[in-house]
Amino acid sequence: MKKVLVTGGCGYIGSHTIVELINNGFEVVSVDSNINSDKAALAAIEEITGEKVENHTFDLCDLEKTRALFKAHPDFVGVIHFAALKAVGESVDKPWEYFHNNLNSLLNIMTCVKEFEVNNLIFSSSCSVYGNAKALPVDESTPMEPAESPYARTKQMGEHMLRDFCVANKEVNVVLLRYFNPAGAHESGKMGESPVNVALNLVPVITEVAIGKRKQLFVHGGDYGTRDGSCIRDYIHVMDLANAHTRSLVFLTEKRNNTNCEVYNLGIGEGASVLEVINAFEAVSGEKLNYEVGPRRAGDVEAIYCSYEKASTELGWKPTRSIEDIMRTAWEWEKKRSAVNS
């Protein structure tokens, strides 16, 4: 089996991607600081796949520990780099923490990729690199507008760092995956979004309100220039997103890339407003949400959704799950994890 390093492997997207990688014949080694994640994800991975994943707990900002991990595994065929702080609002309040963590960890991964000749790297980027795009849907040639948050700026900077890295190191092959809004849970109900800290993403906040963990949902902004006044995002099921990483890794190991730094949008390809997502949840679950429309939140863009045509053509990838599938699986996961913790 080909062995891959997954950073941030105990996190939401990382853990679902590990399941997808194992199911497609890869051996996975995980590293995670567990600042914003829970090692319980490893048990869920083993329950779903039957495979126990080797996991290391340390901060990737520590170069020597990162180097030691690469040295212990000279047979890595690639790295999928998820590990990063990712809360938009928190990044506005603590920009220095985001620059320190997200950029230093990436620099250390780049250092080890070069030193140990692990020449396939997949970077977890974000639709936030587009800023307030002047035209929708965005495609990979859409210019980056100014970042709306320090988090988004770290993703823009990360992409620029990797592009320069690839210019100087022709043997290195990089795929930049620009995620839109990952949501939903594994269909087994055994794994889903389970924030260690207070949930900030819309879908887990919705399910926590519905289950009674929160009294109310606040919609940040009802006066945007959108069809109902709330922000529009492109929501993608986490397992569709996970599949794109497996396809990207195979794409690189089979040397099908045209350049040594490729970029792909990953989304459903259409936008849903915050209020439309709420309506989709109510329709799927039969639950009525208690929500209130409030003021805008710093760092939010008005609307963003993508074209995924390039990923479809070159990776053979396309999303297979709808916003209703996202809400259904997220709700099943919320009910099961709440029952366990009650």
10-residue stretch averages of pLDDT, the chain, 342 residues long? 96 97 98 93 97 98 98 98 92 96 98 98 96 92 95 97 98 97 95 79 94 94 96 96 98 97 95 96 96 91 93 97 96 89 66
DSSP letter for 80, please.
E
Q: What is the DSSP letter of 176?
A: E
Distance from CA of residue 93 to its chain's centroid?
Answer: 21
Q: What is the largest CA-CA distance in the chain?
A: 55
pLDDT at 112: 98
Instruction: Give the separation between CA 152 and CA 149, rounded to whole angstroms.
Output: 5
For residues 266 and 248, what is the distance between their CA atoms, to the nearest angstrom? 12
CA dihedral 85, 129, 199, 222 (to 10 degrees): 150
Distance CA 245, CA 333 (A): 23
Does residue 316 contact residue 247 with C-beta atoms inside 8 Å? yes
Fold of 3-184+235-268: Rossmann fold (3.40.50)
Element (H, E) at 110: helix 104-115
Q: How much is the pLDDT for 88?
A: 86
CB atoms within 10 A of CB 183: 28
The two tokens of residue 294 are 């409030």
- The pLDDT value recorded for residue 342 is 61
151 is a catalytic site residue: yes
pTM of the model: 0.94
Return the pLDDT at 70. Answer: 98
- Selected catalytic residue, list 12, 98, 130, 151: 151
Condensed to tens digits (0 to 9), the pLDDT of residues 262-294 reads 999 999 998 899 999 999 999 999 999 999 999
Of 178, 316, 307, 323, residue with least CA distance to 236? 323
pLDDT of residue 243: 98
